[in-house]
Structure 1
């Protein structure tokens, strides 16, 4: 039964057999009944009439006994409802991210590891496994320390061929230096560097071995022949006496190819020795000692360090600087002479902050803190004494003195 706009009822007969596909008035029907059905009806009685075409085109599926005019499209007709799949995937992604982050945190892995090529390659492999619907297992302890390590060694060795390839044309510089591992084991490292980059050749464990000049010379010769003599342009070491003596032994070698390889002292070590000689000058040694006293005192006392940082923040505010943090004092190292000069340079840069800390704000210290007060008085007197010093040459006075 269909009710038209005038309120008249019309009955719709069953459709005749139209086969698999019938086309009428531009509307087609398929056997599955899921497409718009053509309306081919016969009216009965005196009120016979066809269903209006504007309504017939909205009839879908099986023929309905009654129909209504189509509703106007809603404002959100073009919007797509959020599926549960995306919600579940978001929750799964959050859980996965947190699991990876926990692995980084628990094992103290640097965040920069997430930028490495191997990390991205691992992500790509996991995505491929997910698309193929394969369940992968993470490698265990024994696999990592046995099978995986030699395989990775071969992969890295293959990648380094691009660095070794130009050596036959450009040559290389053999660099060697001794160091100590975290377990206090002495080792000597050999590095080959060329225009295309540097490669770690080998590391020799020197525990219980001969460390004389002849032993070093034999070791150098072994590495040179391993790299091929015609590739080695020079040998670069520090200026330790044992290295100088080993070089003299190679100069007298029977093989002219090895005998002609020049020895180049390490420029960094030479500069370090130069600073060591400068620091041996009496007045410079005194300045370094006093600078150490100031830096060590402020660094080791929390109250003094807090006052120094507060003075630094106030000084920045006066200058109208809003970005970054105030400069901190640099404590020198025990075995690197260059850090002494870096320390003195930083003292010069924070001179105004030091003056505000040890002079203007002395009254801020409570009277009950005797050792701290005495230490600050000593630091202030030492600083003022250095700044009143008169040196023969004005150009070489300490940088923090006016």
Structure 2
């Protein structure tokens, strides 16, 4: 049965609902003709929708605990752990109450049953007849990004054990009353759907009427139904099975009833051991409260330390070394002794230097095969010094070499050239394919001199910097700037008031509307995209009764926000801006990726950006405005043969072109051959092997190789299937292994400036080693992190410089009736899966490159350079 969402409206979860699972679902409500509100709960991670069953059913879904319906395979690990702990906490609390009742002989079975009901709202109904096992228990699935309300939901029927029906029929013939299971849709529905459906019937306290009130026996929220007999609350038969259950297989199957993650006492109980002993064991082994208090004390100790040393708080989520440190301390137990000051600047630092150098040697062993890029990053310290950091990048990662105080020669091309030349020679001229610097003119002059001195390498400006400048210029276009300012007025108002910010996060299901980008200018367009994705959520908020009743909505600022979010022209312009800039943001993420070298993708990315702008605006006089911006900022990169050669050698793109490649790409491929292959004989062999590549001869044409064009990284593809053209494959691997931009690190957190002002030679060497370790550990963790950039709240002071235009008021705040209280602020959930597709950025580049106008413009720009 297809269930339509027509009539259902998204609503904010009531603050009275305290169960943690409510933060991980969307709630939909519909008024029914009978006056009862129908409710749907949707998992924000996988899109599964639940109708009825209580919040415990969703909690089991998030926790991955089987036995209570389908489980979610996309729940983040921290959320899954939290849900498991919440479920176990409920079980432990129930067992504690149960043990108290068992220990008191004055309690009647009826009182015992009622105590069970305190933990859940599931009722076992004994009635004359029933045609259904479960009332309104349906699983439905929904596709899409979860934001819109249109479309249908696909019904997924419950799995009902066929043996239940046969057993039920047998019991009816034997005069056993029929059982009807109904669920009260409260927050903590006790017995799971799966357990109710799998209860195969049999004798229980309900059959005899003991422990019942008005024909209703209430059951608790337990891992499996516990039969209750008169005279003994937890009696077992001589076969070790629970009385009244003719078939006890499902009790022994822990995974079936969700006991695989519970404690020993739960497993002992269902296997027939003493209930009192099991309850006592549960009291000792499941002292959840004690564990929580212990964790809080540990967390407070960590917090005090980080606050006192003024450490950036995002280290706890961004550093891959934080949790291993906690684990190492915990493994040492009470005998763990903190290192001393002398230890940290002595033998520990010495060992750390040795570990880093060992990693560097492993990187250097790959340079002969893959080549490397020398990265020269310029930045200014808080005291105004200009420093240059030198690093080397290869597929194994990036390593920091050294830092130079360039305050006195930064504007001298001759001095820059000498320093660049010296570092290239240190790394090895035969290994360096390119030197990447900033885009300033003095670096361009020094870079060209470097190419004249070393004819086997290229100088290249940083691609990420160039794209950021393009985005800056886009933001200066009048109509785009107007859209950005309107959007900023909305976000400033929302992030100014706790009440409004909490309301917004409820309507957006925990998502912030300010989305951090890599830079300030990227943040402008990532935020516009975020707002466009959450358009209907924001419109629902400003038209809700909650908004209307809020005093801030009646202020001039609040009225302006309502006007903007209700304005069709604003949303149309916002969506158009995101269409124009999304391809550029994609290129920015590609060139900054730590997962794949960007050289094989950046040319296609810029091509797609220009193609998208042309398709959106259609008229030449309109799209040429933005093409000119791109060409002006990218002109130093257009003429760089490495980008075109990377496109040519990427099999994903090369074989997707219909007909011949454009002459400009082929010409630049030949430029790379002449420059990067100094041996003339080898050059001739490479040209011959290009024909094998064109015709996919030998292993290049195998079905395996054809399928791998889209699956393997291009350098890996050549390494695997390029044996028939070894010289071309060797060149391809070296080109496709290169990056296109510099690493943007957090240099302000490393004492570079102190390094350059220390006069004592011994202490200077020690500090140099410390900086060497610190920077290389930061670079190393960029490779190991699962996510390239962790989500950080937009009003977090750790990223304030990037988002201040979106959350900071243009004037100093005046005295307000509201006393801002950050403690009452609901944290963002970071559930960006609602808004993004989990598709690799490079996959969106597609195939087909046949727009001659783009290549003609490319030739014109090359001529101007």
Shift of 1:220: 1.0
Question: For 2:377, what is the secondary structure of its paired residue?
Answer: strand
Alignment check: 8 A CA contact 2:376 2:389 kept: yes
Shift of 1:240: 2.9
Q: How do 1:3-402 and structure 2 match up within 5 A? A: 104-108=302-306, 110=316, 112-113=320-321, 115-116=323-324, 138-181=338-381, 186-207=386-407, 210-253=410-453, 258-310=454-506, 312=507, 325-330=509-514, 336-361=520-545, 362-366=547-551, 373-385=555-567, 387=569, 396=576
Alignment check: 8 A CA contact 1:287 1:398 kept: no
Question: For 1:283, what is the secondary structure of its paired residue?
Answer: helix
Alignment check: 8 A CA contact 2:373 2:436 kept: yes
Shift of 1:273: 2.1
Alignment check: 8 A CA contact 1:295 1:331 kept: no
Shift of 1:304: 2.1
Shift of 1:308: 2.0
Over residues 69-103 of structure 1, what are the superposed CA-to-partner deviations in whole Å (9 max), with x where a residue is unaligned? xxxxxx9xxxxxxxxxxxxxxxxxxxx99998776
Distance 1:390 1:148 in 2: 59
Shift of 1:166: 2.0
Shift of 1:158: 2.3
Shift of 1:180: 4.0
Question: For 1:165, what is the secondary structure of its paired residue?
Answer: helix
Distance 2:575 2:329 in 1: 59
Q: Report how many residues are paired.
A: 282
Alignment check: 8 A CA contact 1:175 1:190 kept: yes
Q: Would you tell me which structure has more helix in proportion to its own residues?
A: 2
Distance 2:343 2:402 in 1: 25
Question: For 1:300, what is the secondary structure of its paired residue?
Answer: coil
Distance 1:172 1:373, change over 3 A: same
Alignment check: 8 A CA contact 2:504 2:538 kept: yes
Distance 2:524 2:379 in 1: 22
Distance 1:352 1:212, change over 3 A: same
Q: Which residues of structure 1 form unaligned runs of 5+?
A: 1-74, 76-95, 314-324
Shift of 1:345: 0.6
Shift of 1:187: 2.5
Distance 1:207 1:100 in 2: 45
Shift of 1:355: 1.5
Q: Which residues of structure 2 form unaligned runs of 5+?
A: 1-272, 274-293, 307-314, 580-865
Shift of 1:264: 2.4
Question: For 2:543, what is the secondary structure of its paired residue?
Answer: helix
Distance 1:339 1:359 in 2: 27
Distance 1:102 1:185, change over 3 A: farther
Over residues 47-67 of structure 1, what are the superposed CA-to-partner deviations in whole Å (9 max), with x where a residue is unaligned? xxxxxxxxxxxxxxxxxxxxx
Distance 1:103 1:221, change over 3 A: farther
Alignment check: 8 A CA contact 1:287 1:386 kept: no
Alignment check: 8 A CA contact 2:451 2:459 kept: no
Distance 1:100 1:284, change over 3 A: closer
Q: Which region of structure 1 is more displaced relative to structure 2, 375-384 or 339-348? A: 375-384
Q: Which region of structure 1 is more displaced relative to structure 2, 226-235 or 273-282? A: 273-282
Q: Give me the TM-score of the superposition, normalised by structure 2.
A: 0.29
Shift of 1:341: 0.8
